[in-house]
Structure 1
Amino acid sequence: MLWTRYVAIGDSFTEGVGDPAPGGGWRGWADRAAEALAARAAGFGYANLAVRGRLLGRIIDEQLPAALELRPDLVSVSGGGNDLLRPGTDVDELAARMDAAVAALRGTGADVVLFTGVDPAGSPVIRRTRGRVAVFNEQLRAIAARRGAFVVDQWSMDVLRDWRAWAEDRLHMSPEGHRRVALAMLEALGVPDVGDWREPPLEPLPELSRGARLLSDTRWARAYLAPWIGRRLRGRSSGDLVTAKRPVLAPLGEDASRSPLL
């Protein structure tokens, strides 16, 4: 199937944080996937309404209506990860809001792509959310089955458990991680001849000593975890002063013809 009006909504994952764009800003998996789709459909338009730090409620309240106004035929929806970092989050309520959003989009005839969370087992701090993430993932799979949506199952993508798929902050993906997620989305959509997210396989990283791991974790906590906690305590978000990078549906430009995922 050819899509010509793709809109992406979500948080920093969809905004593309961690994958620098030529000339500044962020590229990310959604841009990369859009470039591949644009190469297959004349008159292709793409909008990315995602803003870093957004909780699912704000994504649905602010970005969903804007997305519906653009009359897309394909929408990617990713959200809830920032909510799940907060203890006490009601996963069932989160899933109910996502279900209603997907129902609204599917009611227009648009195809919808959802994303499960990545397995955080390897993270020294975020792994504490693993149970909540796993439950929400099951809810997302049920929503997709009920509403006829596509799913990118990041939980099963072993390569995303490798730190080379992640930026230094361990919260956002590296260019390699974004590249593989873009390919996984295109695979879920059934787009042929774009490449395989499993390739190339990554050689195992050298085993670090306990002391080296502790030193690395300590440096990460000082540089990234402490500022994140500080923002939470002040009621601030990294996206407070950020607006959507592609708020209107528009062509990608001449550079979209280049090989987007390699």
Structure 2
Amino acid sequence: MKTFRFAALGDSLTEGVGDPVDGGWRGWAALLAAGLAPAESPVEFRNFAASGAQTGDVVARQLPAALEFGPDLVSVVVGVNDTLRCTFDIHEVAARLDLLCGEFASRGALLMTACLPDPGTMLGLPGVLGRPLARRQHAVNAVVHELSRRYGAVHLHAADGEWVSDRTMWSADRLHPGERGHRMLAVRFHARLADAGLELGEAPASEPEQSGPTRSASLLWLATAGTGWLARRCTDLLPQLMRLTAQEIRHRARGTSLGLDLGTAHAVASALSALPGPEAV
């Protein structure tokens, strides 16, 4: 009986951060892997995702190992960390994501993708601070949507909806799903794969085995580990974010904020049109 191979690529979300088990991370991909085939059908799962990974890291480090693994199903969920860097360029992000999708699709693997909430919203940043980050994430999501269509990926729209504002879905850091959130992603991906015609095993359980983080735990994280996380990001992003915020304020005062949104839409269209292949728009 042929072994069904599932490879997961991406960042801390796919690594499983927020869903601790036995001193390590489990996460939505591992939960999904357990239900990918009917009983007694062999499934081999490898998680290549790494915390902090950007699209360039996935191309350079995860792609070669995943291609050698030869997956039948592969998830590519990455891009949030790119939006948190001063080097963010939607053209480069689009080119890397297209390379990843193209490499696996050309080998007959079924792709899974997802669009995600923007980090500014998750951290509760004020509008003028959060809006530039939201605009970047919306650009990444637009690219993911289009590439998912081009490569026939099983796509999960997780950028908004009730789960984003439901605190029981999220871990103490407010950026990664907790166990309940990871289970929700696994259940939703399982349903999308079933809709695509795959013969699957039992869907992952939706109810968590452990209790979620308390409010005091969330506050403790923000005061300790969260402070360090923000400091590391601020060293790289803060100067540019301040410039973007000043730009946001100026446009809001002039009533021309729509121009920033249109500029992002134009950049996305330009990035997609620059991609190779007969379906490039």
| TM-score tier (shorter) | 0.7 to 0.9
Instruction: Determine the C-alpha separation between the residues in 2 that align with 1:55 and 1:122.
Output: 19
User: Counterpart in 2 of 1:117?
Assistant: 116
Deviation at 1:87, TM superposition (A): 4.2
Residue 72 of structure 1 deviates from its aligned partner by 0.7
Distance 1:167 1:217 in 2: 8
SS of the residue corresponding to residue 52 of structure 2 reads coil
Separation in structure 2 between the aligned mates of residue 220 and residue 20 of structure 1, nearest angstrom = 15
Unpaired runs of 5+ residues, structure 2, are 209-214, 237-281
CA contact (8 A) 1:4 1:41 kept: no
| Correspondence for 1:44 | 43
1:175 aligns with 2:174: no
The answer to which structure, 1 or 2, has the higher relative contact order (CA under 8 A, 6+ apart) is 1
TM value normalised by structure 1: 0.74
Give the whole-Å Cα distance in 2 for the aligned partners of 1:139 and 1:44: 31
Q: How far is 1:219 from its partner?
A: 6.0
C-alpha separation in 2, matches of 1:168 and 1:58:
26
Distance 1:18 1:111, change over 3 A: same
Following superposition, the deviation at residue 223 of structure 1 comes to 2.5
> What is the CA distance between 1:91 and its match in structure 2?
1.8
Could you tell me which runs of 5 or more consecutive residues in structure 1 were left unpaired when the two chains were aligned: 201-211, 236-262
Which residue identity does 1:50 align to in structure 2?
A
Greater Rg by CA: 2
% identical equivalent positions: 35
* Residue identity opposite 1:57 in structure 2: G
State the distance in 2 between where 1:139 and 1:55 align.
15
Residue 57 (1) aligns with residue 61 (2): no
TM-score by length of 2: 0.69
Residues 196 and 152 of structure 1, relative CA distance in 2, 3 Å threshold: farther
Mapped to 2, the partners of 1:97 and 1:75 lie a distance apart of 16
| CA RMSD of superposed structures (Å) | 3.0
Query: 1:157: Cα distance to partner?
Result: 3.8
Query: Is 1:3–1:73's contact at 8 Å kept on the other side of the alignment?
Result: no
**Aligned AA for 1:18?**
G
1:63-212, aligned counterparts within 5 Å? Answer: 63-87=62-86, 89-120=88-119, 121=121, 123-125=123-125, 127-128=130-131, 129-190=133-194, 194=203
Distance 1:156 1:195 in 2: 22
1:62-94 superposed Cα distances (whole Å, 9 cap, x missing partner):
101100001111001111111112245112320
CA distance 1:216–1:72, change in 2 (3 Å): closer
Partner Cα separation in structure 1 for residue 147 and residue 164 of structure 2: 23
| 1:221 Cα deviation after fit | 4.2
Quick check: 1:15–1:27 contact (8 Å CA) kept in 2?
Answer: yes
C-alpha distance in structure 2 between counterparts of 1:117 and 1:73, whole Å: 24
1:165–1:81: structure 2 CA closer, same or farther, 3 Å change rule?
same
What residue in structure 2 maps to residue 17 of structure 1?
17
Kindly provide the CA deviation profile for residues 5-41 of structure 1, in whole angstroms up to 9, marking residues without a partner as x. 10111111111011011x2211100000001114456
Alignment length, in residue pairs?
219
Tell whether the 8 Å contact from 1:114 to 1:140 is kept in structure 2 after alignment.
Answer: yes
Which residue of 1 is the match for residue 257 of structure 2? none
C-alpha deviations, 1:100-144, integer Å up to 9, x for none?
110011000001101111255353238441111112111101001
- Which one-letter code corresponds to 2:111 in the other structure? V
